[in-house]
Amino acid sequence: MPKGLTFTNDFLKLFFNGGAIANLADNAAASPLTGLFLALHTADPGSSGNQTTNEISYTSYARASVARTSAAFLVSGRTVSLAALQAFPASTGGATTTAAFFSVGTNLSGTGKILYSGTLSPLIAVSNGVTPQINSGTIITED
């Protein structure tokens, strides 16, 4: 059963912007996340995966930190998009590989929890000297 549109919008703002849902949820925990972490994956990390599942590997790769604010994530209706282009570190070596999926998770490194994941379009071919980027048109839709 789908959520109501207003609640869906509030839910996404809670996760991506750190906004409260009046009388239901807030972001006032002792140490709430101030950022979320984007990762690139060579294959679908799946619903039971974590941030390391099928995570891309190239020399200099690191997850990208994005602030949990309305300036970084735009929420409208049932969708979330990046407010700006998000670049990852440039490849400085390693075999050519392809990023086909992305995820939004809770850890800068290690087996963090995936909150959302999706397909990249177009795919990103990563080789020496390439700086992978996720554009602001990348959208997450909540059902």
Domain chopping of the chain, boundaries: 5-21+35-141
* CA count, 13 A, side-chain hemisphere, 23: 1
Q: For residue range 76-120, what is the model confidence (pLDDT) as tens digits? A: 989 999 999 999 999 999 899 999 999 999 999 999 999 999 999
Quick check: 86 and 120 in contact, CB under 8 A? no
Q: For residue range 109-128, what is the model confidence (pLDDT) as tens digits? A: 999 999 999 999 899 999 99
